Amino acid sequence: MITKKTFRSLLILGAALSFGLPARAADEVKLLNVSYDPTRELYQEFNASFAKHWKEKTGQTVTVNQSHGGSGKQARAVIDGLQADVVTLALAYDVDALFQKAALIPQNWQSRLPHNSAPYTSTIVFLVRKGNPKGIKDWDDLAKPGVAVITPNPKTSGGARWNYLAAWGYALQKNGGDEAKAREFVTRLFKNVPVLDSGARGSTVTFVERGIGDVFISWENEALLVVNQLGKGGFEIVGPSVSILAEPPVTVVDKFAAKHGTRAVAQAYLEYLYTEVGQEIAAKNYYRPRLESVAAKHVKQFPTVKLFTIGEVFGGWQKAQQTHFADDGVFDQIYKP
């Protein structure tokens, strides 16, 4: 039961949040974390944990504000002046854009933190309706006629680009590296896509709530969230024979952090992701942890899938982006709505 007094203090808190009280005490600090779509639950929990940790360590109260959306769209907003202290996006290319388009971070940003600045990983799996009525087992089944496939738009969504590359990588491996055959396969697959949402979360709602589609190519973490919490009992995960190792990277946005004087706390925020506590929270929210000790504890919740990296198959994000997702790239050529 909320009393009148707490209601009033909530009101004041809301007002303070919306305006950013000008007379802010020195022992208070604010961070803005601009993130991609499915990390909402992860950072909600992580922010609370970090705030507690930081308070104990320094006595300073830290408030982390969140913004979520399709990874490419979010990067664009930061480039246009959304003053993020840290970004936690879906893929390295979107973070690269902060250097290339606006020089907000140094070129070597990815080597500043361990594991290519990706504190947790994920992969791409299939989410199907209960009982798997269309008998989806592997990538080939997605390109069959009569199967409706849900995936977000690779132009705006990071997850969708991982989806696309995972499919392409599978087809390459199956056909001994034949690019033409891979292209033909992915073309057929996208013929089965009735609607492209702009972000992963939009696609999840399309598949889970609106009931559209037979199979949803999804982030593993998002699929586990649906199966274990949101649509309990209504859905199943199918792990394909091979998939891509998705590494969602994080970085301090140097220019804005310097401007806000938040460099140290922003750095500590990201490093906390690599600690046992941070890794545990990541695992709890269905991201694959990097830390062996934590990974071992949660190994059972993740389907076993053979993983390849984007470096091995596509020569890194810059190259993959240029070939596949740039204007008039392969995706534009094969996807005709």
Residue 35 Cβ vs other proteins, minimum distance, rounded to whole Å: 10
Chain positions 17 to 36 lying near other proteins, rule: CB under 8 A, are 17-20, 32
Using rule CB under 8 A, residue 10 touches other proteins? yes
* Cβ–Cβ under 8 Å, residues 211 and 167: no
Using rule CB under 8 A, residue 67 touches other proteins? yes
Residue 136 Cβ vs other proteins, minimum distance, rounded to whole Å: 24
- Outline where the chain has alpha helix (H): 4-19, 40-58, 71-79, 92-102, 139-142, 158-174, 179-191, 200-208, 220-225, 254-260, 263-272, 276-284, 292-298, 310-314, 317-320, 330-334
* Axis crossing angle, helix 71-79 with helix 92-102, rounded to the nearest 10: 20
Q: For other proteins, which residue of 24, 52, 57, 101 counts as binding (CB under 8 A)?
A: 101
Q: Position of tokens 């979520």?
A: 68
Q: For other proteins, which residue of 45, 49, 53, 77 counts as binding (CB under 8 A)?
A: 77
One DSSP character per residue, 319-334 reads HHIIIIISTTSHHHHH
Using rule CB under 8 A, residue 295 touches other proteins? no
**Phi, psi angles (nearest 5°) of residue 276:** -60, -40
* Cβ–Cβ under 8 Å, residues 312 and 128: no
Among residues 225, 177, 166, 168, the alpha carbon closest in space to that of 201 is found at 225
Q: For other proteins, which residue of 147, 195, 205, 307 counts as binding (CB under 8 A)?
A: 205
- Name the one range near other proteins by CB under 8 A: 15-23, 122-130, 142-150, 297-305: 15-23
Total number of residues shown for the chain:
337
Residue 264 Cβ vs other proteins, minimum distance, rounded to whole Å: 21
Using rule CB under 8 A, residue 176 touches other proteins? no
- Name the one range near other proteins by CB under 8 A: 75-83, 107-115, 137-145, 290-298: 75-83
Q: Residue numbers of the site for other proteins (CB under 8 A)?
A: 1-2, 7, 10-11, 13-15, 17-20, 32, 37, 40-41, 65-69, 77, 79-83, 101-102, 201-202, 205, 209, 230, 259
